[in-house]
Amino acid sequence: MHTHITSRPDRAGLRSLIVSVPQQAVSGVANAAKTLQAGFTTLRNVGAAGYADVALRDSINSGETIGPRLFVSGPPIGATGGHCDENLLPERYHDTRESVADGVEEVRKKVREIHKYGADLIKICATGGVLSKGDSVGGQQLTYDEMKTAVDEAHMLGLKVAAHAHGTSGIADAIRAGVDTIEHASLADADGIALAKAKGAVFDMDIYNDDFILSEGAKMGILPESLEKERSIGRAQRETFKKAVQAGVIMTFGTDAGVYPHGDNGKQFAKMVEWGMTTMQAIQAATATAAKVLGHLGDDLGAIAPGKYADIVAVQGDPLANVAELEHVKFVMKAGVVYRQDDQATVIK
Ligand SMILES: [Zn+2]
């Protein structure tokens, strides 16, 4: 429910400046194939430049390239200077991301524009982020009114809204504004968790990601200030995850793959179990619950039943006994077509 299919982990920080949108689209083709091979038959992509994710979705749907079924947001809406703007260059190289919007009227127009160019959902950047330069990870960046406008406009158009939100006040305002899924949700406090539960807002928390950023991030080009931000919130996010699970908040499986290598998505299952989910809850977060949270887009997904797409994976052992089996998928079928089948004699025993 949270990938960046056109991103590569080794193009972080300043390295991102020399990557063109066409290059991102080409990387997306390779990343999509890897992710399908890892057993993920549907992805929700939340943020891509130049509508490269829209193009990739259409290419996969037409049979031109191989990958998971994609539901995509296109470029994420954010404030000038915020998490979803471009803050790496000094003013003399002034650059603004295509989806920056300030004030309710600009937000409204941007939602309509992103719908026009083919997105399946809207992503907004409610608070600061770990990987953005110059902002505070907990600081709110869109006002309640801006978020309410984005939600009203998107819902009128039949699109759900995902909000990137680490900070406490931004999470609460996003939920109050009617946002459907809170991405990261790192610093949600007891009130935020209670509000999510009351309003049926969904937490989509990337709790494996922290391990990769802290061990490999510097090599990938992640800025020192971003590594510092990750150190400040990584553990807190996992503690929030545990509290949200205990409180009964609806939780989905979102990894932020793209920040870490595509195809390693399954590594998050074990973290979700380590931090409070039952194995079945973690599996459902990636299947039945995710399909439900997608709304009408998920009608034919998330279960093995008559009338649903035949999206099936197989592993060698029992994933309910050892959830890490889901990191080593041996068989992948998407919509009735087999894309992976390792050593049949071993699999069927
Ligand atoms: Zn992300």
- Mean pLDDT, range 239-249, rounded to an integer: 98
- Distance (angstroms) between ligand 1 centre and the Cα of 2 equals 6
Handedness of CA 126, 130, 132, 135 (dihedral sign): positive
- Distance (angstroms) between ligand 1 centre and the Cα of 172 equals 19
- Distance (angstroms) between ligand 1 centre and the Cα of 130 equals 10
- Distance (angstroms) between ligand 1 centre and the Cα of 90 equals 24
pLDDT in tens, 54-79: 999 999 999 999 999 999 999 999 99
High-pLDDT (> 90) share of the chain, %: 97
DSSP for 227-249, written as a single string: HHHHHHHHHHHHHHHHHHHHHT-
What was the pLDDT predicted at 345? 58
For the sheet with 250-252, list strands across it.
121-125, 160-165, 181-184, 202-204, 250-252
- Distance (angstroms) between ligand 1 centre and the Cα of 344 equals 36
Task: Determine the Cα–Cα distance for residues 61 and 344; give it in Å rounded to an integer.
Answer: 28
* Band of residue 127 on the pLDDT scale cut at 50, 70, 90: very high
What was the pLDDT predicted at 349? 44
- Distance (angstroms) between ligand 1 centre and the Cα of 47 equals 7
- Distance (angstroms) between ligand 1 centre and the Cα of 82 equals 14
- Distance (angstroms) between ligand 1 centre and the Cα of 339 equals 27
Domain extents for the chain? 9-308
What was the pLDDT predicted at 301? 97
Helix axes 144-156, 104-116, angle to 10 degrees: 30
- Distance (angstroms) between ligand 1 centre and the Cα of 219 equals 19
- Distance (angstroms) between ligand 1 centre and the Cα of 331 equals 28
Strands 337-341 and 331-334: antiparallel
pLDDT in tens, 283-321: 999 999 999 999 999 999 999 999 999 999 999 999 999
- Distance (angstroms) between ligand 1 centre and the Cα of 46 equals 6
Which residues sit with Cβ closer than 5 angstroms to ligand 1, an ion? 256
- Distance (angstroms) between ligand 1 centre and the Cα of 168 equals 18
- Distance (angstroms) between ligand 1 centre and the Cα of 253 equals 13
- Distance (angstroms) between ligand 1 centre and the Cα of 256 equals 5
Radius of gyration of the chain (CA): 19
For the record, the structure tokens of 134 come out as: 């110059």
pLDDT in tens, 178-226: 999 999 999 999 999 999 999 999 999 999 999 999 999 999 999 999 9
What is the residue-averaged pLDDT of the chain?
A: 96
Task: Determine the Cα–Cα distance for residues 9 and 197; give it in Å rounded to an integer.
Answer: 33
- Mean pLDDT, range 162-173, rounded to an integer: 98
- Distance (angstroms) between ligand 1 centre and the Cα of 280 equals 25
- Distance (angstroms) between ligand 1 centre and the Cα of 87 equals 17
Q: Which CATH number fits domain 9-308: 3.20.20.140, 3.40.630.20, 3.40.50.300, 3.90.1580.10?
A: 3.20.20.140
Phi, psi (degrees; rounded to nearest 5) at 245: -65, -45
Cite the beta strand spans of the chain per DSSP E.
42-45, 69-72, 121-125, 160-165, 181-184, 202-204, 250-252, 312-314, 331-334, 337-341
Q: Can you give the pTM of this predicted structure?
A: 0.96
pLDDT in tens, 130-151: 999 989 999 999 999 999 999 9
144 Rama sector, left if φ>0, alpha if ψ -120 to 50, beta otherwise: alpha
What was the pLDDT predicted at 343? 76
- Mean pLDDT, range 118-135, rounded to an integer: 95
- Distance (angstroms) between ligand 1 centre and the Cα of 254 equals 9
- Distance (angstroms) between ligand 1 centre and the Cα of 214 equals 16
Q: Give the closest residue to 251 by CA, choosing from 269, 229, 231, 233.
A: 269
